[in-house]
């Protein structure tokens, strides 16, 4: 939303990217993904200027209000956050919890020393009420979210990659259909089963493709598959928040990077009450500020032209 608001203000993808500290390509990609999610075009593109469509005009006002509201909320938390205290139980997926959330949560508790925070990492969809979690972070929502509110924290972007050794031995796929001849490392929690979905913009048309794979190795833990890919075991369906360092170091190489995988979001789930506890609200706002509008891992990949 913040990217869209900035593009609308600047009337330019390049100027918006410069203002936000990200590449023009990433700005364009995020706007395309936002339009795809909404099912409508928000912007007219021309060689000279970007302008708002009718839908874009209607969408801009609530977006601007939400962005401004988030800034005000951050200010309020900064002024009153020192009084936060008590137990705070958080659940998160194993990979994200260990790679990113643990560090953010440690810094949050240093800001609020009266809190007693605990982090439970688990890739199963545990019921927050049944297990007593104040906040659950999931990829997407959950099938039954009654009694819960959801707030997006960060994009969760998939990426296919493999080690240079694997690609040297087996070759690099040039089209998604080529994956049927490759060893594929599959995350078993994907809702679409052992089918990988692809899309790309081709001649102003969205081309979509589903490839059924026969996994050579599956796991319900992304870090397990990531390690297998580093060992040269095959092409992994990874996430950018997990793969980014090894992609930057050249230990993993993007595969089929001109095709997009389905975009998801890391989402905060918390009790749906009229007044959310200040400690929960403060943590959510802290995490939103950490990861939006573009999280560190995606900024790094964009800067290296690997996004």
Question: Which of 63-72, 81-90, 189-198 has the least mean pLDDT?
Answer: 63-72
> pTM for this one?
0.71
CATH of domain 2-78: 1.10.10.10
Helices (H), the chain: 2-10, 13-20, 24-38, 54-80, 94-96, 102-111, 128-131, 164-170, 222-230, 240-249, 278-291, 296-303
Q: Residues 115, 78: contact at Cβ < 8 Å?
A: no
Q: Which pair of tokens denotes residue 127?
A: 């019921």
CB-CB contact of 32 with 201 (8 Å):
yes
Average pLDDT over residues 57-73: 78
Residue 10's pLDDT is what? 85
Q: Which of 260, 238, 257, 264 is nearest to 305 (CA)?
A: 257
What are the residue ranges spanned by the domains of the chain? 2-78, 83-155+265-301, 157-263
Q: What's the pLDDT score for residue 190? A: 65
Q: Residue 181: how many CB atoms within 10 A of its CB? A: 9
β 115-121/135-139 pair status = unpaired
Spatial separation of the C-alpha atoms in residues 204 and 299, rounded to whole Å? 26
Q: Residue 192 has what pLDDT?
A: 63
Give the phi and the psi of residue 28 in degrees, each rounded to 5. -60, -40
- Alpha-carbon span 255 to 163, nearest angstrom: 10
The residue among 110 and 188 whose pLDDT is bigger is: 110
Superfamily per CATH, domain 83-155+265-301 = Periplasmic binding protein-like II (3.40.190.10)
pLDDT tens digits, 29-62 = 889 988 888 889 999 887 778 899 999 998 988 8
Measured distance CA(161)–CA(179) in Å, rounded:
12
Task: Please give the Cα distance from 307 to 37 (Å, whole number).
Answer: 19
How far apart, in whole angstroms, are the C-alpha atoms of residue 81 and residue 74? 10
- Name the range with the highest mean pLDDT among 142-156, 204-218, 261-275: 204-218
**Distance separating alpha carbons of residues 93 and 40, to the nearest angstrom:** 32
What's the CA angle centered on 41, arms 35 and 47, to 5 degrees?
110
Same fold, 83-155+265-301 and 157-263: yes
Nearest Cα to 67, choosing from 24, 17, 8, 12? 8
Q: Name the architecture of domain 157-263.
A: 3-Layer(aba) Sandwich (3.40)
SS3 state at 84: coil
Where residue 157 falls among pLDDT bands split at 50, 70, 90?
very high
Over residues 132-155, the pLDDT tens digits come to 889 999 887 655 556 778 888 998
């Amino acid at each position: 939303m913040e990217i869209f608001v900035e593009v609308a203000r600047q009337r330019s993808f390049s100027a918006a990217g410069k203002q936000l500290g990200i590449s023009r390509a990433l700005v364009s990609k995020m706007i395309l993904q936002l339009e795809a999610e909404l099912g409508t075009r928000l912007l007219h593109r021309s060689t000279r200027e970007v302008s708002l469509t009718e839908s874009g005009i209607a969408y801009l006002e609530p977006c601007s209000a939400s962005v401004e509201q988030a800034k005000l909320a951050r200010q309020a938390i900064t002024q009153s956050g020192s009084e936060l205290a008590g137990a705070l139980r958080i659940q998160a997926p194993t990979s994200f919890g260990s790679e990113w959330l643990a560090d953010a949560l440690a810094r949050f508790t240093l800001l609020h020393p009266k809190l007693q925070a605990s982090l439970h990492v688990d890739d199963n969809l545990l019921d927050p009420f049944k297990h007593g979690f104040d906040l659950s972070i999931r990829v997407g929502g959950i099938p039954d979210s009654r009694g819960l509110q959801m707030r997006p924290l960060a994009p969760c972007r998939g990426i296919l990659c493999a080690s240079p050794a694997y690609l040297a031995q087996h070759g690099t796929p040039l089209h998604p259909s080529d994956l049927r001849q490759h060893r594929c490392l599959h995350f078993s929690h994907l809702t679409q089963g052992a089918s990988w979905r692809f899309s790309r913009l081709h001649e102003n048309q969205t081309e979509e493709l589903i490839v059924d794979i026969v996994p050579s190795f599956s796991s319900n833990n992304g870090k397990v598959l990531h390690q297998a890919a580093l060992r040269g075991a095959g092409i992994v369906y990874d996430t950018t928040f997990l793969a980014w360092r090894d992609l930057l170091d050249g230990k993993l190489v993007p595969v089929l990077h001109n095709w997009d995988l389905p975009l998801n979001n890391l989402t905060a789930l918390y009790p749906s009450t009229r007044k959310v506890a200040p400690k929960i609200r403060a943590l959510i706002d802290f995490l939103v500020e950490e990861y939006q509008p573009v999280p560190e891992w995606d900024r790094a990949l964009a800067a290296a032209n690997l996004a």
